[in-house]
Structures are given as C-alpha cells and as structure tokens.
Amino acid sequence: MPPLPRSIAHLDMDAFYASVELLRYPQLRGLPAVVGGRRATAAEDPAHFPRLRDYVGRGVITTATYEARALGVHSGMGLMKAAQLAPDALLLPADFDTYRHYSRLFKAAVREIAPDLEDRGIDEIYLDLTALNPDGSREGAHAIALRLQQAVRDATGLSCSLGVAPNKLLAKLCSDLEKPAGITVVAADDIPARIWPLPAKRINGIGPKAAERLDALGIHSIGELAAADVLWLQEQFGERYGQWLHRAARGQDERPVVTHSEPKSISRETTFERDLHPRQDRNELSQRFTRLCEQLAADLVRKGYVGKTIGLKLRFDNFHTVTRDLTLPNPIGEAAAIRRAAGECLKRVPLERRIRLLGVRVGNLVRRDAIPDHETPTPVQAELFA
C-alpha cells in the first residue's frame, strides 16, 4: 500500500478577509488589525484607522491578522472584549462582495490544476488529488500542494495552507498545523506522532460542549480519545456519536470529495449595529431590506438559480428569532419579486419589539436555465417597510 492510498487535500486561505484587506491597504502589513463592526471609509494613513479601543457596539470579529491573533483575539470574539486585549489593533470594515470576488478567483485557479474540488465555503475547499499523485507518495503530494499554493498566489496575491492526508478529516486538521502558508502531509503511520498529541477539540466535529465533556472525563488529547474504549464512549455520548469519536481519533474517514451538489437554499442576512424600531427606523429598515433582496438576487443570478419559496428571518432585541416562508406557484429570482414576497412574510410577524437581525432566503431552488421563457414571477401584494 502507498503511504497515501487516497491523496485528499484541504486548502484553507490564510486569514482570508484580513488578507484581502491588506491587499487594499498594504501599509497595514505587520500591524495588528481585525475585520468587523460597522462599515466606514478608512483613511490612507494607518494612524487614522479606527482603533479597537474606540469601538462602542456589539459587533464581533470576522477575522484578524496573525499579529492580532498573537494578542489573543480571534474570529467570533466580541469587539468590545477584543479591545481589552488589543486596544491598539486597527478596525477595518468588512467588504463581503470583494471577499466573494477573491474566493471565485482562487477556486478558479485551483480548478486549473485539480478539478475534483468540493466547495466548503468562501475560503476553504477539499480536493481529491489521487489521480494527480498515482503512487501515493508524500513527495508527490507535497509537490502538488506547492503548485496549488503558487497558483493561488499568482491569481490573487494571497497565501493559503494545505493539509494532504488519506481522508478529509485528517486533511482539514492538518491544514491548520503550519499556518500561514504551510503544507502538511500526513499518512496513516504519522498519526501517533503528529495527530495524537493534539487537543481532542482540534478534530472537526468536536464542538465546545463535547470538548468540555471530554475534558471532564479526563480525555484531553486525540491520543487519549483513541485509547478510550468504544463501548464506554457510546455510554457517555450515545451510540452514533461515540462510535464516530472512536473512529475520528484513529483518523478513519471514508467520505468522498463531493464535486457537485445542488444547494437547498441561498440566503442573505445582516445584524444591525443598533436595534432598529419597526416604525421609528422604518426608512432605514426599508433600505436594508431592499439591499438584502438585491444582494440575494445577484447571488441567484451568479449561481444560476431561481426559487419558489421565499423566507424571512427576524431576530428581536430579546434574541427571540422568528421565520416565515411563502411558497409561490412559479419560481422567482428578481430583486423586486423577492422583496414583495418577503414583505408578505413580514406581514405575518407581530412587530412589537426592536429588530436586531434581518434575513431573506430563497429555497425550493431550480436551475434558471430550466425555466420556460413564458413563466413569469408571481405577483404579490405590497410589503411592509415600504
């Protein structure tokens, strides 16, 4: 058997959003910076960029440069808390349209070399490199990973890290071991030395609650989890999850790289910087509502879909979340039609509290090119927030 019976890679862009921002503002390289919070126009002089110490609000960090991460801040952390750890870090606004542009660029570059690609999000992909590395050698896998890194850099100016292993579980774990711009190749016989010393929570699929439970049971490393009796794990975590933990700790995973799958729905949502009142902030809500529908319509055009089911999501200031759906006779994809249908959903929600989050979704998708020309969007009545 070759060291890599399958050569599966996980490619993860390095601090993706922050790295894109550094292309825009190269003068900030080497400085601690985070992406998140309200949109603003940044000045050319780094001294004029907002600092975390001046931030007031409830935003969270989308990503951070490695210099900021060294100070203890990380994705998902509240900006106010991050300000306590890194008060001098620069605060940059998020620009998701630009991030999506660079995401498409790096994936197109990768497909030129390795077409068997599973898209897992804006900044990460799985690749089946087995056909490109027929002898399953570590050297061959490393050489392909170097080619992929260079292709991504040539296309975007950005760096990425890759893990190459016999399966997706190990590949994802390994892509994070040598960041940034790292390449880690792990075969089955490397698992005791490279994987087992790592914390159990590093396995993708072990969330915070499971990690806390394992810790309480005295299992801290992947190796300790691998040594645990499978029946005992099933007693502690249930039959299915306990069995999965046992297999995952041993690096066992037979999942294929799925190169094509139809999405079930496409959505857009936004969390407001301050809670908006349904009547007092009606104009702002209307503008945000319309913008979400326009962005969603653009996503549908780019991906080639229309849909029959329009969904609305609202989260109020007490964190209570409600959703409403409307299924139409014919599929739609135009911004105005989505806006009208989502407005009908909105009429079915009592608007008695301030709104924290607003989202719009299109489901029951069909390919746009499969719809006969004579089918037209179904008219619906006028919506709220108008």
Catalytic residue among 118, 124, 344, 383: 124
Our answer to whether residue 124 is catalytic in this structure is yes
- Would you state the pLDDT for residue 59? 81
Residue bearing the bigger pLDDT, 373 or 133: 133
Q: What is the mean pLDDT of residues 182-206?
A: 96
Per-residue pLDDT tens digits for 218-259 = 999 999 999 999 999 999 999 999 999 999 999 999 999 998
- Would you state the pLDDT for residue 273? 81
Q: Which amino acid is at 331?
A: P
Q: What is the mean pLDDT of residues 347-357?
A: 94
- Would you state the pLDDT for residue 37? 67
Within 13 Å and on the Cβ side, how many CA atoms surround 371? 19
* Domains of the chain: residue spans and CATH: 8-15+98-189 (3.30.70.270), 18-94 (3.40.1170.60), 196-249 (1.10.150.20), 265-370 (3.30.1490.100)
Three-state secondary structure of 296-329: HHHHHHHHCEEEEEEEEEEEECCCCEEEEEEEEE
Q: Does residue 45 surpass a pLDDT of 70? A: no
Query: What is the rounded CA–CA span in Å between residue 113 and residue 67?
Result: 32
Predicted model pTM: 0.78
